[in-house]
Amino acid sequence: MLLELYKINPMYQFSLDWYRNIFKLSIGDAKQNSGQQDKIQTIIKCHILNVYRYTCRSLFERHKLLLAFQLTVKMKESEGVIDPKEYLFFLKGASGNVNKETAIGKPNADWIQDSAWAHLQELDQQLPNFANICQAINLSTKEWKGWFSSKKPEPEEA
């Protein structure tokens, strides 16, 4: 992840020695917290915190939130909370690989743009947690429009 920061700004480059020193520091910090049961988890937590702290010293202010987001995603992926395929879809969106034979037609709804429907079809076909979303929208178009039009859709009931 640190190696990819240069894509944001070519100035962001970190040496192996720098990283090794942070790792040694993390092990030392974990020893101070010797009251905890699982040493490996303690080292991991200390290391993530140290990587964040020391990397932030090198970043522009506007990139610090991005680093925090990337660290959080990597941690959640390693815990199995975030599906890497879903995260990649979130980042890149649809790639245009929709199976036309199994695709469900767009409902008669002016609030759904054609491009959004294409994304939904790909989401439906490629990610198991979103299977049948197109069918659900077709069956309950009025309810989905209400959710879509809501100012705060996140807390809305499904």
Looking at per-residue pLDDT, the higher value among 97 and 105 belongs to 105
The C-alpha atoms of residue 32 and residue 85 are separated, in whole angstroms, by: 38
The C-alpha atoms of residue 1 and residue 8 are separated, in whole angstroms, by: 12
Q: Are 23 and 54 in contact (CB under 8 A)?
A: no
Residue 99: pLDDT above 80? Answer: no
Residue 148: pLDDT above 80? Answer: yes
pLDDT of residue 81: 95
- Output the furthest CA–CA distance in the chain (Å, rounded): 63
Inter-helix orientation angle 61-79/39-56, to 10° = 160
Residue 22, token pair as written in the block: 């942070």
Q: Is the pTM of this model over 0.85?
A: no
Over the chain, what is the mean pLDDT?
88
Average pLDDT over residues 87-98: 84
Residue 121: pLDDT above 70? Answer: yes
The C-alpha atoms of residue 83 and residue 106 are separated, in whole angstroms, by: 27
As a three-state string, the secondary structure of 99-129 is: CCCCCCCCCCCCCCCHHHHHHHHHHHHHCHH
Read off the pLDDT band of 134 (50, 70, 90). very high
Question: pLDDT above 70 covers what percent of the chain?
Answer: 96
Q: How do residues 10-38 score in pLDDT, each as one tens digit?
A: 888 899 999 999 999 999 888 876 665 67
Half-sphere exposure in the Cβ direction for 1 (13 Å, CA): 15
Q: Are 146 and 158 in contact (CB under 8 A)?
A: no
18-52: burial string, b at 16+ Cβ within 10 Å, e else:
eeeebeebbeebbeeeeeeeeeeebbebbbeebbe
